[in-house]
Each structure stands twice: as C-alpha cells, then as structure tokens.
C-alpha cells in the first residue's frame, strides 16, 4: 500500500511539473522567439519575436493572474470551462493589438505568420470552450513542436515526444479527458501548424 501511495505521489508530481513547465504561455513564448528563424537576420530579429510574445503571452498572462487574484477566475489554467471563452477573448484582444504594433514596426513576415496561427487557435478554442473543454496545453505543445521540426529539420523530431507527455499530465491531473487531449493535439499539430505553414509560404520571401 505504501509503495502504491508513493508511486501515485511521484506520478502526480511529475504530471504537475509537466503541466506547469509546458503551459501554453511558456510554450508559445518560445515558439514566437524562434519564429524569426524562418527568415534571414536572426538572431537580431529575435527582438520582434520578443515583442510578439509580450502581446501574445506576457500581457494576457499578467491579466489572467490579476483576475485569479481578484477571484474572478478559478486558477491560471482556467480549469472552469465557463470561464475560458472570456479569458481567451481577452487574450485575443491583446494579440490583435500586438499585430498592429508588429505591422507598425515592420516585423518580419515569419513572426506575423506565427502570431496569425496563434490567433486561429485562440478563436477556435474560444468558440469550443462553452461546449467542450479541448486541451489548450495539448494544442500549444503540439503546434509548437510540429512547427519546430518543420523549421529546424528532422533532427528535432524527438521534440514530438513532448506531445504525449504533456497530454498524459493533463489526464493524470484530471484536467481533461483523453478525447479532449487528443483533440487538442490534433488541432494544434495539424490545424494551427498548418495555418503557419501556409501563411509563411505565402508571406516569407
């Protein structure tokens, strides 16, 4: 019995670690910082990726943490499905403002394409959230690692192992069902990454 209890504690601790380290704002921030790699000028152009991350991830996260502190939202993972759509719409407003800023400062097309892929993801998640709790964690990590492999080459394919690992953590913590994790993974890895692939092909010279 003690051994079983210890195993459960280790499993839950590992799941919480994966969930926190690979939460969407952190994952998408790295994704945006790497987005200038698709064009010449890197690493100098990383400043544009950082600017995009400010509006796409940092500001929405700070606002979310404020809402949690005020008791308006249950937690920073927005576990209550009913609270997800308003939070995602708030994030969308920040992202759209960021797109205007990126356009004004002449950001590389690769960065803009990445932000637009995120916009597509946020819009769909916001639309689905009132009815079904598709995993944002799974969508973010699958989108990011698929794009990383497409940008950096097959040598980075082991990153794909993060998708089932993060999905497993969400199921273990009972934040999502297996179906919600699978749906999020497919949405991020196929739809969001696909949006990026098409846009960067059209926009990047």
- The packing angle between helices 46-53 and 109-128, to 10°, is 20
Q: What is the pLDDT of residues 42-81, one digit of tens each?
A: 888 899 999 999 999 999 999 999 999 999 898 888 888 7
Q: How many residues does the chain have?
A: 205
- pLDDT surpassing 60 at residue 147: yes
pTM, rounded to two decimals: 0.89
Cβ of 69: how many Cβ atoms within 10 Å?
A: 9
Residue 24: per-residue pLDDT? 92
Residues 6+ away with beta carbon under 8 Å from 183: 134, 135, 138
Both tokens of residue 45? 């152009």
Residue 16 pLDDT > 70, yes or no?
yes
Burial code (b: 16+ CB inside 10 Å, e: under 16) for 160-172 equals bebbeebbbbbbb
């Amino acid at each position: 019995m003690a051994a079983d209890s210890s195993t459960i504690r280790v499993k839950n601790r590992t799941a919480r670690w994966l969930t926190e380290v690979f939460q969407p704002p952190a994952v998408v921030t790295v994704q945006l910082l790497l987005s200038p790699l698709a064009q010449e000028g890197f690493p100098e152009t990383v400043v544009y990726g950082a600017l995009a991350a400010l509006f796409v991830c940092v500001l929405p996260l700070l606002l979310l943490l404020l809402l949690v502190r005020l008791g308006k939202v249950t937690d920073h993972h927005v576990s209550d499905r009913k609270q997800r759509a308003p939070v995602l719409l708030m994030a969308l407003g920040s992202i759209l403002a960021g797109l205007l800023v990126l356009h004004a400062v002449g950001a590389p097309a690769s960065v803009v394409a990445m932000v637009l892929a995120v916009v597509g993801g946020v819009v769909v998640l916001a639309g689905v959230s009132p009815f079904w709790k598709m995993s944002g964690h799974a969508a973010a990590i699958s989108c990011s690692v698929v794009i990383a492999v497409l940008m950096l080459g097959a040598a980075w394919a082991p990153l794909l192992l993060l998708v089932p690992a993060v999905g497993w953590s969400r199921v273990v913590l009972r934040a999502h069902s297996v179906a919600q994790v699978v749906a999020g993974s497919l949405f991020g890895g196929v739809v969001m990454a696909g949006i990026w692939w098409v846009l960067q092909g059209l926009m990047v010279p």
